[in-house]
């Protein structure tokens, strides 16, 4: 995967199937040259041209790799700074590059001020995905104040407009896909509430004519869990660009003398079709993004008691649930909200991370021992960045929450956000979780974050608008420190469901909570959106008793959907019949059998519920010897749908065998992909799981 340096400062980043080409021109401008299929490397050159006229300038037109604000450049910039003397323009000169087989760094510095900018790129063997990020260094003594810091800028090939796919989600409707055709002006996708949010997503998927199987797709995902902004635009020369990075809304970053700022990374690539894109990013995230300790390990089947008992946890009801969960094959028992302080509803006790003695008279030990004796690991819920006004912590430290003395604090979910930029708050948060993990046999932390920020006063900061960035940095740092000290503990990022389920969270946490909406019908849409640019194995999916319609779908339907990620159980098992418990037992056993394929295989999205009335996802093992297809439909109209099921992703030259609808099939991979088998999908809650195996020659 070489970085190729050509003469005249042209740099070719060669991945498995693509070239990403950039350069530095003789005037010191960083220039974008190509992103797409490989060409003859001798052909790549930098073009020179002048201003079109006094209203359309060279700088505005130029395809740059990373555009700084200044001079006659008026479009969206990637970097804007104010120097101590009040100058608000950056003017860069090129200082040279550093490179090796997989890395390239281009170094620039301001012509008049002590600022260095480095554009960094990293290639990964076997992938068409590249990481890029920037480094800023203040080589002077006085702070340089940044008004905007993007992490990357992209220029897209060709002149026709691109469609940018993002999400337009909400709590309970995370990852709901949305598209914007950008043929002029700008489309902005962003978050402003402190987290990466349930609404838009810090990623883009840009295409003209593409579907699951074909068409050129350009994608990028920002590894950052805070306020982000993506601005996609198309200019009067028909050039499409996208700038992606930290949101400049209420933003400031004062870079002190001598300080180095390394931006979050953007992972980007090119693919043929959305399916290929998702499979690339899935494998890439497992290999290079998820924290190493658990990345290549299958995630356990967990039970979480939140849907079963809400805040009414106590030692007895948790033990009862644990016993039933263990009996059905659950491997990890997670106690959710309600175990601490005076917590009986969301009105109180966030911040008081000591065990509630009425609920747990003998401390956590009795429950944890029971869970361990039942053969399961124990996990626990915390929401460490928050505090209720009605808590001992807030009474002792009212100044620890973001606030303005002159403004009424908005208590969303009756809680306030702790000022994580305060060193004493960081130490407090580290200490409470460190104590929990040191004193108890806890193997799993579910780290929640249930409201956006408001009244964001941070009197400790000279530049309070830095709090958005510093807050997220503090969270990452604390999680990393905890993981270093407690390496056997897995962490889950939860934010009222999937409000912080981005690649930044997944660089520090081992998995994410996908959505509080566990309704299996709605999950068909949510999980599809999730799967576009995130790793399947990190997607927690529970079977619960939630129903938004009339009654919960049959257990078989709920399992069908939840088994397509990292399976969890969340229903009130004490109310399950023996028959239901047996069904759970059987499905969990089946899940354990197919888990390596679901969590580490290749996903082919064959039918989707919105367009086809039927969901069909086919997960294929890497060696293509085994696969599992999930087919589900909450209801087909007119009571009939006779369709061929086609199984993409198998080896076309091998033969496979499986059972379906009482019939045994033996077919080639080619036949299964091209012709398929007949299925009669009808009625409410149709669901099937087909396990396909290579037919071994005797």
Rule CB under 6 A: which residues touch ligand DGJ?
306, 336-337, 381, 448, 450, 494, 496-497, 513, 516
φ, ψ of residue 432 in degrees (nearest 5)? -65, -40
- Please state, in angstroms and rounded to a whole number, the distance separating the CA atoms of residues 261 and 264: 10
Q: Nearest distance from residue 494's CB to ligand DGJ, in Å?
A: 5
Measured CA angle at 109 (ends 221, 134), to 5 deg: 15
Q: Nearest distance from residue 543's CB to ligand DGJ, in Å?
A: 14
| Nearer CB in complex with ligand DGJ: 448/522 | 448
The 3-state secondary structure of 83-106, one letter per residue: CCCCCCCCCEEEEEEEECCCEEEE
| Nearer CB in complex with ligand DGJ: 128/448 | 448
Burial label, 50 (beta-carbon count in 10 A; 0-12, 13-18, 19+)? exposed
Sequence-separated (6 or more) residues with CB below 8 Å from residue 339 = 313, 355, 356, 359, 360, 364, 380, 381
- Please state, in angstroms and rounded to a whole number, the distance separating the CA atoms of residues 175 and 169: 6
- Please state, in angstroms and rounded to a whole number, the distance separating the CA atoms of residues 505 and 224: 7
CA dihedral 652, 657, 658, 663 (to 10 degrees): 110
Q: Nearest distance from residue 542's CB to ligand DGJ, in Å?
A: 9
168 in Cβ contact with 198 (< 8 Å): no
| Nearer CB in complex with ligand DGJ: 268/513 | 513
| Nearer CB in complex with ligand DGJ: 466/520 | 520
516 is catalytic: yes
Q: Identify the active-site residue in 110, 248, 283, 448.
A: 448
Q: Nearest distance from residue 634's CB to ligand DGJ, in Å?
A: 23
Q: Nearest distance from residue 309's CB to ligand DGJ, in Å?
A: 11
Nearest Cα residue to 262 out of 114, 106, 96, 137: 137
337 is catalytic: no
| Nearer CB in complex with ligand DGJ: 307/634 | 307
| Nearer CB in complex with ligand DGJ: 326/445 | 445
Q: Nearest distance from residue 330's CB to ligand DGJ, in Å?
A: 17
| Nearer CB in complex with ligand DGJ: 497/552 | 497
Nearest Cα residue to 283 out of 132, 122, 103, 124: 124
The gap between the terminal CA atoms of the chain, to the nearest Å, is: 41
Residue of minimal CB distance from ligand DGJ?
A: 337
Q: Nearest distance from residue 498's CB to ligand DGJ, in Å?
A: 8
Burial label, 484 (beta-carbon count in 10 A; 0-12, 13-18, 19+)? exposed
User: Which runs of consecutive H residues, i.e. helices, occur in 124-262?
Assistant: none
φ, ψ of residue 375 in degrees (nearest 5)? 90, 15
In the numeric block, the tokens 């379906």 are attached to 660
Q: Nearest distance from residue 514's CB to ligand DGJ, in Å?
A: 9
122 in Cβ contact with 131 (< 8 Å): yes
384 in Cβ contact with 435 (< 8 Å): no
Neighbours of 226 (CB within 10 A): 29
- Please state, in angstroms and rounded to a whole number, the distance separating the CA atoms of residues 22 and 9: 8
Q: Identify the active-site residue in 248, 502, 510, 516.
A: 516
Q: How far is CA 31 from CA 26, 66, 74, 268, 269, in A?
A: 11, 8, 17, 18, 18
| Nearer CB in complex with ligand DGJ: 76/448 | 448
Catalytic center residues: 448, 516
């Amino acid at each position: 995967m070489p970085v190729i340096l050509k003469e005249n400062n042209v740099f070719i980043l060669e991945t498995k199937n693509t070239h990403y080409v950039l350069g530095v021109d003789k005037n010191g401008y960083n220039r974008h040259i190509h992103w797409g299929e490989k060409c003859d490397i001798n052909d790549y050159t930098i073009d020179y041209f002048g201003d079109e006229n006094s209203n359309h300038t060279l700088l505005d037109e130029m395809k740059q790799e990373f555009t700084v604000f200044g001079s006659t450049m008026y479009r969206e910039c990637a970097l804007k700074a104010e120097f101590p003397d009040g100058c608000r323009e950056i003017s860069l000169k090129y200082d040279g590059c550093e490179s090796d087989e997989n890395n390239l760094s281009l170094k620039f510095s301001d012509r008049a001020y002590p600022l260095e900018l480095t554009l960094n790129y990293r290639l990964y063997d076997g992938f068409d995905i590249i990481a890029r990020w920037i480094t800023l260094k203040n080589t002077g003594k006085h702070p340089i104040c940044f008004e905007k810091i993007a992490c990357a800028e992209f220029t897209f090939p060709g002149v026709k407009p691109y469609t940018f796919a993002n999400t337009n989600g909400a709590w309970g409707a995370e990852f709901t896909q949305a598209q914007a055709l950008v043929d002029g002006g700008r489309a902005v996708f962003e978050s402003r509430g402190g987290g990466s949010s349930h609404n838009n997503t810090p990623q883009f998927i840009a295409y003209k004519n593409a579907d699951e199987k074909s068409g050129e797709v350009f994608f990028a995902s920002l590894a950052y869990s805070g306020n982000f902004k993506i601005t996609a635009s198309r200019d009067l020369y028909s050039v499409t660009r996208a700038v992606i990075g930290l949101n400049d809304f209420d933003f400031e970053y004062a870079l002190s003398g001598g300080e180095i700022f390394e931006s979050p990374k953007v992972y980007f690539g090119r693919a043929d079709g959305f399916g290929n894109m998702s499979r690339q990013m899935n494998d890439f995230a497992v290999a290079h993004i998820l924290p190493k300790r658990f990345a290549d390990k299958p995630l356990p089947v967990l039970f979480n008691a939140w849907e079963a008992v809400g805040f009414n946890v106590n030692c007895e009801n948790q033990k009862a649930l644990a016993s039933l969960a263990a009996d059905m094959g659950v491997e990890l028992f997670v106690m959710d909200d309600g175990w601490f302080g005076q917590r009986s509803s969301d009105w109180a006790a966030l911040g008081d991370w000591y065990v509630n003695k009425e609920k747990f008279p003998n401390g956590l030990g009795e429950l944890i021992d029971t869970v361990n004796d039942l053969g399961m690991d124990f996990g626990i819920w915390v929401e460490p960045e928050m505090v209720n006004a009605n808590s001992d912590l807030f009474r002792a430290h009212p100044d620890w929450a973001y606030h303005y003395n002159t403004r009424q604090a908005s208590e969303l979910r009756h809680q306030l956000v702790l000022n994580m930029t305060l060193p004493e708050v960081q130490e407090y948060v580290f200490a409470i979780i460190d104590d929990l993990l040191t004193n108890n046999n806890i193997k799993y932390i579910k780290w929640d974050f249930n409201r956006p920020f408001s009244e964001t006063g941070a009197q400790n900061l000279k530049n309070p608008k830095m709090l958005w960035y510093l807050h997220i940095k503090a969270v990452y740092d604390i999680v990393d420190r905890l993981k270093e000290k407690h390496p056997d503990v897995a962490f889950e990022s939860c934010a009222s469901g999937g409000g912080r389920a981005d690649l930044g969270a997944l660089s520090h946490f081992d998995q994410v909570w996908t959505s509080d909406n566990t309704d299996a019908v709605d999950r068909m849409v949510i999980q599809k959106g999730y799967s576009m640019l995130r790793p399947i194995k990190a997607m927690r999916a529970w079977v619960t008793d939630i129903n938004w319609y009339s009654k919960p779908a049959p257990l078989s339907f709920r399992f069908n959907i939840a088994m397509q990620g990292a399976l969890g159980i969340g229903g009130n098992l004490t109310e399950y019949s023996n028959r239901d418990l047996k069904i759970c037992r059987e499905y969990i056993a089946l899940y354990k059998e197919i888990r390596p394929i679901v969590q580490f295989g290749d996903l082919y999205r064959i039918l989707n519920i919105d367009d086809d009335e039927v969901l069909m996802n086919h997960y294929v093992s890497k060696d293509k010897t085994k696969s599992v297809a999930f087919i589900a439909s909450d209801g087909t109209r007119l009571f009939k749908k006779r369709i061929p099921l086609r199984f993409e992703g198998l080896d076309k030259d091998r033969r496979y065998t499986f059972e379906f609808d009482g019939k045994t099939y033996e077919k080639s991979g080619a036949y299964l992909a091209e012709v398929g088998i007949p299925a009669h999908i009808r009625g409410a809650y149709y669901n099937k799981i087909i396990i396909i195996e290579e037919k071994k020659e005797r």
